[in-house]
């Protein structure tokens, strides 16, 4: 009995000692442990910050917010903070500037407001306390933890790419200098010069002084490849930066530039290629069969890879979307190619002198201009005159909480109404405005009405092609006409948009492919193509590397990156999601792989054509 009692007492003593040790250890670690748990509870990701509200007022308060990028948007609830020294922490997005509004619960009288640009991984505090005067409130803002430099990865990547480009540009000179320091100086330099000349012969179009220039221009292939490379980069996430994603509604980002550039190049290529086939005597019926076949193939590819990929599982009609990028490109190509096939003039009579000589490349093609003008008039009439049920006529807004919440179901106005009428539910249900404007209606950025202005954009490219083709021996005239067209389109875009994002007559809007958007992109396209033409085809300072390689295999690269973009080695599950470092590396790595693949195909002389 005594032994059992002593064992019980020893066990109780042991348990007491263990409990004391637990309390002691917990006391030592409590501060650090609580801090660690707090950090884990609010583990921030890219473009996120932590904002804590400290309420020292004797009543509960509500915090509302709106994004300054959201046009006339209603304030949305962010947090409710209790009275008497209570605090609430919330995670907020840092992509756009936010305006906060503090007010008592169940009232509309604002106590204070704050407009602030928050930065990634920063910890902020907003304290509301009585000011000492009756009913007066003081709101003080402070930074508890300094934010990260979100643009440092972008700066480092830019410097590395710039260094690589400079090194590649000076590499031939470095090789030449090394040759002069060797005993076999003459032989070495002759071999390197012979190698460089042979490489130039394989990459340059056949443009000799004693022969007419080929319609295959380095600048055109490079412009196409540059547009495609940027497109691959933004489709792979663009490092997670908001300006490498599409704009929520009005305005421009880098992602909004690439598709119009690509359409512009399509128009230019149509003029050069079909004019070449006309000179070779290809019958018109054969041209129609060729352009029809290419259009059908482009559209079928668009249906296959946009609406379905192996990771989607078995084929299903539930996610079928009729419009798409390749569908729009295919139809635009079809219309432009038909116009060029039935074009009444093949050459501009430069030797004839008429009063219209300065604009003869427009006057002599008046049927095409008449057709394009009628198309644009139709777009304007439908956009601004078509009655849309329960929506104002001519509405161009995003709907949702925008425009003070007056038109929540009017996203896209007439453009969306026509798509729903013609295509039903087989359109895009997650437009770029959905997150910011809280929209509930589908809207397709590749819809029917926007395709009209896609044709207009391609027609500007056709005009550039005619200038390149018919003034091929007059480089100064080509550059002058490019500059004139750029000025005309740039001024038109400035007038239509009033040089503002949301207050213009017709805002610049990629979702709608608005007229101001097309003229703005036409201005940029003429400038970029003109600069590349001067640098590459006139002065021959640059061979177009590395962009010329994907530019000569554009269909392969575009379809390939769309189908394989979610698979290794182009993509992997990120482990560090709290900054842009890994995301930016992943986007650049995937893009560089496709440029390298295009280079290998170029070396093998494999070019996928339809």
Quick check: is 22 catalytic?
Answer: no
Q: Prior bond to 257 cis, omega within 30? A: no
Asked whether the beta carbons of 519 and 493 are under 8 A apart, the reply is yes
Of 67, 77, 98, 84, the closest CA to residue 128 belongs to 84
Q: Prior bond to 170 cis, omega within 30? A: no
Q: Chain-centre distance of CA 410, in angstroms?
A: 24
The string of DSSP letters for 413-444 reads THHHHHHHHHHTT-S-SS-TTHHHH---S---
Neighbouring CB atoms inside 10 A of 26's CB total 10
Cβ density class 422-431: b for 16+ within 10 Å, e for less: ebeebbbeeb
Neighbouring CB atoms inside 10 A of 441's CB total 19
Of 123, 88, 91, 125, the closest CA to residue 105 belongs to 88
Give the position of tokens 């097309």.
518
Of 554, 557, 558, 490, the closest CA to residue 525 belongs to 490
Of 425, 395, 435, the closest CA to residue 411 belongs to 395
**In angstroms, what CA-CA distances link 330 with 313, 321, 337, 378?**
27, 16, 10, 21
Q: One of 22, 194, 246, 353 is an active-site residue; which one?
A: 246
Give all strands of the β-sheet with 137-145 in edge-to-edge order: 86-93, 48-55, 123-130, 137-145
Of 434, 442, 413, 428, the closest CA to residue 327 belongs to 428
Phi, psi of 129 (to 5 degrees): -140, 155
Asked whether the beta carbons of 573 and 564 are under 8 A apart, the reply is no
Asked whether the beta carbons of 482 and 526 are under 8 A apart, the reply is yes
Of 398, 391, 503, the closest CA to residue 441 belongs to 398
Report the catalytic residues.
246
């Amino acid at each position: 009995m005594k032994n059992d009692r002593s064992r019980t007492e020893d066990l109780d003593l042991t348990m007491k000692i263990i409990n004391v040790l637990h309390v002691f250890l917990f006391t030592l670690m409590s501060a650090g442990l609580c801090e660690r748990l707090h950090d884990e509870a609010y583990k921030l990701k890219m473009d996120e910050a932590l904002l804590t509200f400290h309420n020292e007022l004797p009543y509960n308060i509500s915090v509302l917010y709106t994004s300054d990028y959201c046009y006339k948007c209603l304030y949305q609830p962010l947090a409710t903070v209790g009275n008497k020294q209570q605090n609430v922490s919330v995670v907020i997005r840092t992509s756009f500037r936010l305006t906060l509004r503090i007010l008592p619960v169940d009232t509309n009288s604002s106590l204070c407001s704050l407009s602030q640009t928050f930065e990634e991984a920063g910890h902020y505090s907003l304290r509301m306390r009585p000011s000492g005067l009756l009913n007066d409130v003081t709101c003080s803002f402070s930074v508890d933890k300094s934010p990260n430099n979100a643009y440092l990865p972008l700066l480092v990547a830019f410097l590395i790419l710039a260094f690589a480009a400079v090194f590649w540009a000076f590499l031939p000179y470095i090789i030449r200098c090394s040759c002069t320091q060797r005993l076999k100086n003459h032989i070495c330099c002759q071999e390197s010069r012979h190698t460089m000349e042979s490489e130039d012969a394989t990459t340059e179009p056949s443009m000799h002084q004693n022969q007419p220039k080929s319609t295959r221009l380095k600048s055109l292939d490079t412009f196409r490849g540059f547009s495609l490379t940027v497109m691959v980069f933004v489709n792979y996430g663009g490092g997670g930066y908001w300006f490498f994603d599409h704009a929520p509604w009005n305005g421009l980002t880098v992602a909004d530039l690439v598709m119009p550039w690509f359409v512009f190049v399509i128009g230019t290529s149509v003029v050069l290629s079909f004019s070449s086939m006309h000179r070779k005597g290809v019958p018109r019926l054969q041209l129609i069969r060729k352009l029809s076949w290419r259009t059908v193939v482009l559209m079928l590819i668009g249906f296959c890879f946009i609406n379905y990929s192996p990771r989607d599982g078995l084929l299903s009609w539930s996610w079928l979307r009729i419009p798409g990028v390749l569908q729009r490109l295919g139809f635009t190509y079809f219309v432009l190619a038909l116009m060029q096939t039935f074009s009444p003039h093949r050459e501009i009579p430069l030797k004839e002198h008429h009063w219209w000589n300065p604009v003869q490349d427009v006057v002599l093609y008046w049927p095409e201009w008449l057709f394009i003008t009628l198309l644009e008039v139709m777009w304007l009439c439908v956009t601004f005159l078509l009655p849309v049920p329960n929506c104002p006529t001519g509405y161009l807004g995003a709907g949702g909480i925008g425009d003070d919440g007056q038109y929540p179901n009017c996203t896209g106005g007439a453009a969306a109404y026509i798509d729903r009428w013609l295509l039903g539910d087989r359109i895009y249900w997650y437009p770029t405005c959905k997150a910011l404007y809280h929209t509930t209606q589908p809207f397709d950025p590749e819809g029917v009405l926007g395709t009209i202005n896609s044709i207009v954009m391609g027609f500007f490219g056709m005009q550039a092609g005619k200038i390149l083709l018919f003034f091929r021996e007059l480089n100064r005239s080509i550059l002058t006409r490019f500059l004139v067209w750029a000025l005309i389109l740039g001024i038109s875009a400035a007038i239509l948009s009033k040089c503002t994002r949301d207050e213009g007559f017709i805002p610049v809007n990629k979702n709608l492919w608005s007229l101001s958007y097309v003229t703005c992109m036409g201005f940029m396209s003429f400038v970029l193509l003109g600069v590349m033409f001067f640098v590459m085809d006139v002065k021959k300072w640059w061979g177009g590397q590395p962009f010329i390689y994907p530019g000569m295999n554009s269909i392969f690269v575009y379809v390939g990156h769309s189908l394989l973009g979610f698979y290794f080695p182009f993509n992997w599950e990120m482990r560090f999601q709290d900054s842009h470092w890994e995301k930016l590396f992943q986007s650049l790595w995937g893009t560089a792989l496709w440029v390298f693949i295009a280079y290998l195909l170029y070396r093998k002389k494999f070019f996928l054509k339809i």
